[in-house]
Amino acid sequence: MKKFSIILLLFAIIPILNSCQSEEDIQVIEFQFTDYQLIFVPPDDDNASYMNTFIDLKAKYPKEISSPEKRTMDNQDLPSDYTLNNNSIYLLKDESVIYSIENLMSNGELMDTLESIVNTDNQTIY
């Protein structure tokens, strides 16, 4: 009977713990270009070098994009069918996610992906 009570208590506590976890604030890097917003959630361990990638992109496309900014977000800032994950990109238009990549790769691959989005000469249409 005691084991059953403990198991029942665990089933009651787990949903509460999960709901608290989803409210966690996450550090993101974001910028705007034309009528798009791009949000990048860097990996926990290498936030600074990814910010440098965004600064390099801004230097390469000074008129096309706004200055990258760091800010905190929670999952309430994205449409309900998306959850902020580390090392991911979310491309938004009119407050809807139209493209996302999770588990990105190196800084160079990130730069290539961002350039394909921003470069109007060779832009992939989303």
22 pLDDT more than 50: no
Residue range 70-94, pLDDT digits in tens = 888 887 777 777 778 888 888 888 8
Residue environment code for 18-55, b if the CB has 16+ CB neighbours within 10 A, otherwise e? eeeeeeeebebbbbebeebbbbbbbeeeeeeebbebbe
96 pLDDT more than 80: yes
Residue range 34-78, pLDDT digits in tens = 778 888 888 776 667 777 888 888 888 888 888 888 888 887 777
116 pLDDT more than 60: yes
Whole-model pTM?
Answer: 0.66
23 pLDDT more than 70: no
- pLDDT value of position 105: 67
21 pLDDT more than 80: no
Q: In the numeric block, which tokens belong to residue 12?
A: 């009651």
